[in-house]
Amino acid sequence: MSTDEEPRRPDSAGADPTAAAEPTAPESSRPPPVEPDGEPGPPVEPDGEPGLPVEPDGPTERADAADEGERPARKAGSIRYQDETTVPREPTLAERRARELATRRAEEEELAREEADARKSKTRKRVMIGGGVAVGVAALVAIGYAVSQPDDTAARCVDDSNVVVDDNNCVQPAASSAGYNNGGYYHGGGLYPIFIGGGGRQYHYSYGGSGNLGQVATGGTTVPPRTGTATTPSGRVVAGGSSGASSDGKAGSSSVKRGGFGVGGDSSSGGSSSGGRSSGG
Amino acid sequence: MRRETSPVRPDWKQRIAEQGMCFDTPGRGPGGQTRPYWDESVHYVFEMDEVLALEADVELLHSMCLKAVDHVVTTERFRDFALPEWAWPAVAESWRRSDPHLYGRFDLRYDGSGPAKLLEYNADTPTTLLEASILQWHWLKDTHDGDDQWNSLHEKLVARWAEIAEALPGSELHFTWSGGDTSGEDHVTTAYLQETAAEAGLDTVGLAIEDLGWDVSLDRFVDLAEAPIAALMKLYPWEWVLTDEFGKHAVRSLPETLWIEPLWKSVLSNKALLAVLWEMYPGHPNLLPAFLDQPGILTEYVRKPRLGREGANISIVSPGSEVQTGGVYGEEGFVYQLFDPLPEFDGFRPALGAWIVGDESAGLGIRETTGLVTDDGAAFVPHRIPEG
């Protein structure tokens, strides 16, 4: 009822003194984008200088990104995936001991801890990365989801020149060695199992596509199909078809519980949800 | 700002598929006809000064949002956000610790004149990232080489990861998505984020969030190899984490396990934020009046669930008309925002999704609908900034 309830239009400078005092926000409107003032909040950022929090050269440069002056020679990180084929690693001795200890006094132990190790984010200079828009892993992952996956995908054993070879060459997985685990082989942004044949030659599976023995395989991918099975010319099923192998199928530690997030307690093979763009906004 | 049509690339379908687009459920065009989700037959053209002004608006909104979190934490207004009471202290601590944040997307109403208005803020699990960062960039290079685009998403993500790496307990970061999303969108988006992190030098491990393990004895999260998880990027909303079986473990795992986005983002990814912002900054040119639980003085308003996605459970009430979308949200209550219809261009209504990475404006994605609500029938259309 009271008239001060009616500032329907922002600019009507209402009668309420508190509201009218500063009709338009502290920093009246434009610039100061990030808080350089040492507020208690997270802005991890702001390179303290009051001067120019925003880059001077505008938002729009991209490939031709300018200030790559001090582009640090940064080593590329790695990309690994885990799925139903991942095997628990051997627990360390310390872990085994700790587990035993914990189980023994599990009941009485009260949840107590909390060392608020106030990890203050450091103010850092912005580093502009020039250049390339890479699309690697995301596109590889997408292939697995691409519509109308056949129930069964042809799997071909190929050598490192992608020539189709007898699938007996793809039987013995490479010993887990240097760098990448599980005999994985990092190539072009993806990780997939490789097999070592006679003379140390390397082989892997190519899923889908086409190609006969001795020909170069075309149109295939190193990513196993997400649904259905993959079968070699000799009839061996090399992917899929063994659902439920996840988490509980392997000799994992009994103290590890899974499925506490997500829908239906299902694991990587995917539960059923309404689908669609589920986490968008 | 204007809308233009131009020929599509003959091989556009193959191009976008190669770039990772596998979740292109068709959108809806006029009369309910289907329309490609990625629609490059049209695009929007912006002048540089428009983009610069929008960019300033976005960074200002971001700083206002951070102040709003501080206000909510300081005054303990968590109830207004329908956050479960047991999680309040952890939300506050997450904020006080300055747990690092990665990105967010502001949805804006903008018609080329006047300031952009904040419709909502997707601060926790924003999607359409691949479209905005990769697909439209390649479209620009293929069709309007020499023109510019409001798009430094990729570089800024890489740079931001390099900053976040400083706060990580180790060099390894786990990435999780919901395996329940069968469209692949969440997985692909996560894979893309993983890629940007790897480019920044981080060692990354991807697995479905359903596969995360809780080691009861050791009181910590583990991956499928039963290795401890020191840091976790999740494309999975906090409000779902909190209500899941492991929700309390997730909160208890802080701060030993670093979660990205951080828990304090649960305040921003909640539409109660809109009302709190309006309380804090009444009359601000980038805000629309908004109120909690009742329309207040508003006679024309949009009622939005506090926690809702994809334009679901939205009602638009104006004299003589009420439009409503269906959905499963609304249990936590509603927020009422002044109805300011999306502008119309050739019968289509664009909503701007403006990205922030770290604390900097980083790019733009546009989704277009025929209706007033930008929902899952929206199509993504690219944009460009003409040279000179």
pLDDT given for residue A147 in this prediction: 55
With contact defined as beta carbons under 8 Å apart, do A153 and A229 qualify? yes
Confidence class for position A251, pLDDT limits 50, 70, 90: low
Taking the CB of residue B162, how many other CB atoms lie within 10 A of it? 20
Confidence class for position A73, pLDDT limits 50, 70, 90: low
pLDDT given for residue B107 in this prediction: 96
For the segment B220-224, the average pLDDT, to the nearest whole number, is 92
A34-45 pLDDT per residue, tens: 444 444 444 444
Q: Do B206 and A82 touch (CB under 8 A)?
A: yes
How far, in Å, are B173, B195, B199, B234, B281 from residue A189 at the CA level? Answer: 17, 9, 11, 21, 47
Residues of B in contact with A54 (CB under 8 A): 55-56, 59, 360-361
B343-380 pLDDT per residue, tens: 999 999 999 999 999 999 999 999 999 888 887 788 99
pLDDT given for residue A182 in this prediction: 38
With contact defined as beta carbons under 8 Å apart, do B230 and B258 qualify? yes
Nearest-angstrom CA–CA distance, A181 and A185: 8
Can you read off the two tokens belonging to residue B73? 């934490």
More confident residue, B281 or A150: B281
Q: Do A281 and B363 touch (CB under 8 A)?
A: no
Confidence class for position B267, pLDDT limits 50, 70, 90: very high
Q: Do B70 and A41 touch (CB under 8 A)?
A: yes
pLDDT given for residue A197 in this prediction: 63
For the segment B165-186, the average pLDDT, to the nearest whole number, is 88
pLDDT given for residue B330 in this prediction: 77
Min Cα separation A231/chain B (Å): 23
B291-310 pLDDT per residue, tens: 999 999 999 999 999 987 77
More confident residue, A127 or B198: B198
Nearest-angstrom CA–CA distance, A11 and B287: 12
What is the bridge-based pairing of β-strands B258-260 and B321-324? unpaired
Mean pLDDT of chain B: 92
For the segment A250-261, the average pLDDT, to the nearest whole number, is 78
Q: Do A88 and B225 touch (CB under 8 A)?
A: yes
Confidence class for position A244, pLDDT limits 50, 70, 90: very low
Confidence class for position A70, pLDDT limits 50, 70, 90: low
Confidence class for position A151, pLDDT limits 50, 70, 90: low
Nearest-angstrom CA–CA distance, B235 and B187: 8
Residues of A in contact with B17 (CB under 8 A): 142, 146
Between chain A and chain B, the number of residue pairs with CB atoms below 8 A apart is: 429
Q: Which of B120, B286, B297 faces A6 most closely, judged by CB atoms?
A: B297
Nearest-angstrom CA–CA distance, B122 and B143: 30
Residues of B in contact with A52 (CB under 8 A): none
Min Cα separation B307/chain A (Å): 10
Q: Do B48 and A60 touch (CB under 8 A)?
A: yes
pLDDT given for residue A21 in this prediction: 40
Q: Do A10 and B282 touch (CB under 8 A)?
A: yes
Using CA coordinates, name the residue in chain B closest to A135. B19
Taking the CB of residue B349, how many other CB atoms lie within 10 A of it? 20
For the segment B176-194, the average pLDDT, to the nearest whole number, is 90
Q: Which of B97, B191, B237 faces A141 most closely, judged by CB atoms?
A: B191
pLDDT given for residue B328 in this prediction: 77
Using CA coordinates, name the residue in chain B closest to A278. B181
For the segment B62-84, the average pLDDT, to the nearest whole number, is 96
Q: Which of A107-116, A131-140, B239-248, B281-290 has the lowest mean pLDDT?
A: A107-116
Q: Which of A100-114, B108-122, B169-183 has the lowest mean pLDDT?
A: A100-114
pLDDT given for residue B352 in this prediction: 97
For the segment B274-290, the average pLDDT, to the nearest whole number, is 97
Confidence class for position A150, pLDDT limits 50, 70, 90: low
A190-240 pLDDT per residue, tens: 456 667 666 667 788 888 778 888 888 887 777 777 666 777 777 777 765
B116-158 pLDDT per residue, tens: 999 999 999 998 999 999 999 999 999 998 899 999 999 999 9
Nearest-angstrom CA–CA distance, A48 and A124: 9
Residues of A in contact with B58 (CB under 8 A): 33
Nearest-angstrom CA–CA distance, A47 and B188: 33
